[in-house]
Amino acid sequence: MIAALSGMGILFLALIGTPLFVVMGLTAMVAFTFAQIDVSAVIVELYRIASAPTLLTIPLFTFAGYIMAESKAPLRLLRLANALIGWMPGGVAIVSLVVCAFFTAFTGASGVTIIALGGLLYPILTKEGYSEKFTLGLITTSGSLGLLFPPSLPIILYGLVAKVDIDKLFKAGILPGVLIVIILSAWSIKNGRFDGSHKKFEMKEAISAMRSCIWEALLPVFVLVGIYGGFTTPSEAAAITAFYILIVECFIYKDVHLFKDIPRVVMDSMSLVGAILLILCCALGLTNYLVDEEVPMIIMDWMRKFLTDKYSFLLFLNLFLLIVGCMMDIFSAIIVVVPLIIPIANEFGINPIHLAIIFLTNLEIGYITPPVGINLFISSYRFKRPVTELYRISIPYLFLLLFALVIITYEPQLSLVWFE
């Protein structure tokens, strides 16, 4: 009776909009209490997360991404990408994909990408002759495009929760991420204008654009060479990146004022980080309880009745994760769902790194999956369009991403080629 009342109370708190970390923390403590386990087990999770050496990468990379979004870096990078590939058929749309992927990889929050770049890209794409429907769909989809590229925040968070080497996850996401960009680029070329009016490549403009953003354009190279060349750990790379971007934007380009703008950027970026860490700590307490109660094994026993091999399991997993992706934000989904599916995936012989890329790809698709994909609502707000219109517009892009998901799921070498 008391357990039922406690459950109803927690459900009521969730329905009235109580913060997610409060609901999860309460659920964990109530569950441990009724299982006659000391609730300090939740605090132990706080300590474990706080002592993780890679934890620092989350606030540092997020801070760097927010500084770039605050500066004129989007304009400079857009000019560079346009100079290099804007002359191609569909070039401007491909430019949009590349620049959005770059920014999402560093900010980790697709809402920032759509809000910061949407206003820049929309008039450029429509001026090039792309329909409003195509333009809105492309920007909405591009908002989550960089989640598979290093140093993506969801990749770091997944590595922390699943206890998988973050360096390996960074590598594993590169080719699947490129595949998605190529598929969307092909769609952009198909929908491009072929009347011979697209511009020619100009070496002078390309060199000028490169000079204007050389400090920012080389940043991904520095990060990847530093980590994979063995010169820095991910935490050290994150610290160097944050300091580097601070110096570049405040003192070289002078787009961001050290005393007027940086305190606000710190508050905005750390609000996101704080929310993630609170959810992370409280949710891990709950998921540890579920693991201790052998919930994954119970699910596994049930699934064995219907799923006979890993291929049918992967199909079921994708369907499940697509639903999760459009119902939960990516950070909550990683924290809550990953500890439950890892033991089941291991039973079916799924490589942990391949599983990570499948998981993150599904959650990336979830951003534009109706009815509650978060990118749909952000674009609706940003472009003042009914969300139902965004539902219809997103359908072709949803099918393209699902096609990419099938390839990523059933061709594990795409993720694992670096580790042979």
| 375-387 tens-digit pLDDT | 888 888 888 888 8
What is the amino acid identity at position 12?
Answer: F
206-209 long-range Cβ contacts below 8 angstroms, 24+ apart: 206/80, 206/83, 206/84, 208/83, 209/76, 209/79, 209/80, 209/82, 209/83, 209/84
Instruction: Give the CA angle between residues 365, 369, 370 to the nearest 5°.
Output: 175
How far apart are the C-alpha atoms of 249 and 258, rounded to whole Å?
9
Q: 211-224 b/e with 16+ CB inside 10 Å = b?
A: ebbebbbebbeebb
Cα separation, 369 vs 243, in Å, equals 37
Q: Could you give the CA distance from residue 16 to residue 11 in angstroms, rounded to a whole number?
A: 9
Q: What's the pLDDT at 112?
A: 73
- pLDDT for the residue numbered 271: 83
Distance between CA atoms of 89 and 321, rounded to whole angstroms? 35
> How far is it, in rounded angstroms, from Cα 420 to Cα 412?
12
Q: For residue 259, count CB atoms less than 10 angstroms from its CB and return exposed for 0-12, middle for 13-18, buried for 19 or more.
A: exposed
- State the first-to-last Cα distance of the chain, in angstroms, to the nearest integer: 55
* Amino acid sitting at position 248: V
pTM higher than 0.85, yes or no?
Answer: no
Backbone dihedral region for residue 207 (phi beyond 0: left; psi -120 to 50: alpha; all else: beta)? alpha
Q: What is the distance between the alpha carbons of residues 49 and 159, in angstroms, rounded to a whole number?
A: 12
* Rounded Cα–Cα distance for residues 417 and 159 (Å): 19
**Distance between CA 36 and CA 28 in Å, rounded?**
12
Listed in sequence order, the DSSP H helices in 110-261 are 110-127, 132-142, 153-162, 166-190, 203-212, 214-217, 219-228, 234-247
pLDDT, the chain, mean: 83
DSSP per-residue letters across 25-71: HHHHHHHHHHTT--THHHHHHHHHHHT-GGGGHHHHHHHHHHHHHHT
- Please report which confidence band the pLDDT of residue 362 belongs to, taking 50, 70 and 90 as the band edges: very high
Q: Using the Cα atoms of residue 77, residue 79, residue 83 and residue 85 in order, give the sign of their dihedral.
A: positive
pLDDT of residue 46: 67
Q: Which residue, 74, 21, 36, is CA-closest to 286? A: 21
User: Would you mind telling me the total number of residues written for the chain in this entry?
Assistant: 420
Give tens-digit pLDDT for 245-270: 999 999 999 999 988 999 999 998 88
Q: Each residue of 83-128: pLDDT tens digit?
A: 888 777 778 888 889 888 888 888 776 577 887 788 788 888 887 7
How many helices and strands (H and E) does the chain possess?
Answer: 22, 0
For residue range 180-232, what is the model confidence (pLDDT) as tens digits? 999 999 998 887 665 555 567 888 888 998 899 899 888 888 888 888 787 88
Q: Structure tokens of 266?
A: 């710190």
CB distance 246 to 61 below 8 Å: no
Question: Given this model, what pLDDT does residue 195 score?
Answer: 52
Query: Using one digit for the tens of pLDDT, what is the confidence trace for 196-208?
Result: 555 678 888 889 9
36 Rama class: left (phi>0) / alpha (psi -120 to 50) / beta: left
Q: What's the rounded mean pLDDT across residues 76-81?
A: 84
Q: What is the pLDDT of residues 301-332, one digit of tens each?
A: 777 777 778 888 899 889 888 888 777 778 77
